[in-house]
Structure formats: structure tokens, C-alpha cells
Amino acid sequence: MSVTWDGVTTADALKANYVAARHALADAARDFKWDDVFAVLDQNWARVNAWRLDGKSWYTPLHQAAYGNAPLLMVEQLLARGAWRSLPTATGERPVDIARRKGHTKLYGILQPDYKHDVPPEVLAKVQTHFHTMVRERASQLIEKYMLRLPELSVMLELQSPDMSFPVPGMYGGFYYRLVAPGAEAKLVCESWSRVVGGSGQRHEITADGCTLVAEGFV
């Protein structure tokens, strides 16, 4: 089962109970009320990497833990629930970067990303650029309408099985992507489609050199 990238950044068109839960999580993490954080997460662990809707910083609970010098036990529990160590904020800081900036030395080790796959940063950056270009070409209007944050590929390197999905509101489908060749020759395979548009499926192979359409017309 793939891990979901939730790119929603605004509360528009979302159900009230979902918005309330996201705000409750963001408030609790901001205030370092960890019992409240885990009470929200226990209702839906997939929100562990969620940021505040309509917020500007894109701080998740793990970023807040780094900022507030949270007890190691709290950080361990966030990581056990799937918090991503390599996820950047809006300004590009990972949790470990925040901890270093704040001088929270006890968190340096535990927040250092634990990568399961080796892809040179410069290669991953190029793959991500080509990937984002393709995504925008496929769903630009919906991305702009819902102000979606496009996937950060760095988090895939933390997954034992680097397989993720990016559902797009209004598309009735989205993007399903997996890393099939790590290292300097890293390759991302992405399938995308809309369930309400027959034959809309496309498969792309993406490397540092570019994005290639290899199949279409399915679904």
C-alpha cells in the first residue's frame, strides 16, 4: 500500500470536521501539548506529516518538536507513527535543521534522516524538477485552484518501499509514483489518471535527464 502525499494547503472545499482536526493538531503541536497531539493522531495516524491549513510555515508536529526541544520520547512516538525527518518547511528547513538552529543538541541524532535508499541530492533535485513539471502540465488548473503543495521526493528515501500517491482534488484520481532505480541513475515511474475520463491514463519515466511518456490511453 502506497503512502499518501497530502498536498492540500487551504481549507477551501474541505469538510468542516477534517479542517477542525487539522487545526486542532496544528494548535496542539504549536503549544507543545503532546498528549493532545497524540490524541488527534490516534484518530488518524496519516496526519502525522500534516501542516496547518492556510498556514505559511508548513510546520508539521515533528518540526514543532524540533523547535520546542520536545522530550525524546515524544519525538520517538512521532517517528514511530511515520513522521518524515527529511520533510522541509516552506523555508527549506528539515526538523534537524531547526534543532541545530535552536541549539537543541539532544535532538540532533534522532532527527537525522534515516535513508533507506541512496540517491545523490543533486540527482534527486533534477528528478523532482522534471516530475513537478509533468504534474503541472497534467493538472495545472486544479493545482492552482486548490493551491496544492507538490510532493517532496526526499521523503521517499525514508520509506522501505518507496511507493507514494498524490491525490488531486477534483481530478478523481491523481499521481502514483515509485522509485524503481536508486543511486546516480535514479528513475521515478509515475502513473496518473482521472477515473471520470476514459483513457486518461499516462505512464512517465523520470530521470535526472528528463521526463518521458512511455504509455497512455489506459484506465
**pLDDT tens digit string along 151-172?**
999 999 999 999 999 999 999 9
Q: What is each CA distance from 94 to 43, 72, 111, 113, 197, in whole angstroms?
A: 26, 17, 9, 9, 38
Contact status, residue 152 vs residue 135, Cβ threshold 8 Å: no
Residues 77 and 99 occupy one common structural domain: yes
Stretch 170-183: mean pLDDT: 96
pLDDT score at 12: 87
pLDDT score at 219: 84
pLDDT score at 176: 98
Residues 7 and 91 occupy one common structural domain: yes
Contact status, residue 190 vs residue 131, Cβ threshold 8 Å: yes
**What 3-state DSSP class applies to 91?**
coil
DSSP of 113-161: ---SS---HHHHHHHHHHHHHHHHHHHHHHHHHHTPPPPPGGGGGGSSS
Contact status, residue 187 vs residue 205, Cβ threshold 8 Å: yes
| DSSP assigned state of 197 | S
Give domain status of residue 209, yes or no: yes
Residue 29 confidence class, pLDDT cut points 50, 70, 90: very high
209 has pLDDT over 90 = yes
Give domain status of residue 116, yes or no: no
Contact status, residue 20 vs residue 53, Cβ threshold 8 Å: no
Number of domains in the chain: 2
Residue 180 confidence class, pLDDT cut points 50, 70, 90: very high
Residues 85 and 137 occupy one common structural domain: no
The mean pLDDT of the chain is 96
Residues 165 and 210 occupy one common structural domain: yes
40 has pLDDT over 80 = yes
Residues 42 and 90 occupy one common structural domain: yes
Q: Domain end: 61, 86, 111, which one?
A: 111
Residues 169 and 210 occupy one common structural domain: yes
d(CA 15, CA 34): 25
Domain assignment of residue 194, given as a range: 121-218
Residues 97 and 174 occupy one common structural domain: no
Stretch 172-191: mean pLDDT: 96
pLDDT score at 1: 62
**Which residues does 217 contact at the CB level (< 8 Å), separation at least 6?**
199, 201
Give domain status of residue 30, yes or no: yes
Q: Please name the helix (run of DSSP H) or strand (run of DSSP E) that holds residue 67, with its range, or none.
A: helix 61-67
In tens, the pLDDT along 77-130 reads: 999 999 999 999 999 999 999 999 999 999 999 999 999 999 999 999 999 999
13 has pLDDT over 80 = no
Stretch 22-51: mean pLDDT: 96
Residue 67 confidence class, pLDDT cut points 50, 70, 90: very high
Rg (CA), the chain: 18
pTM: predicted TM-score of the whole model, two decimal places: 0.95
34 alpha-carbon distance from chain centroid: 22
Contact status, residue 20 vs residue 64, Cβ threshold 8 Å: no
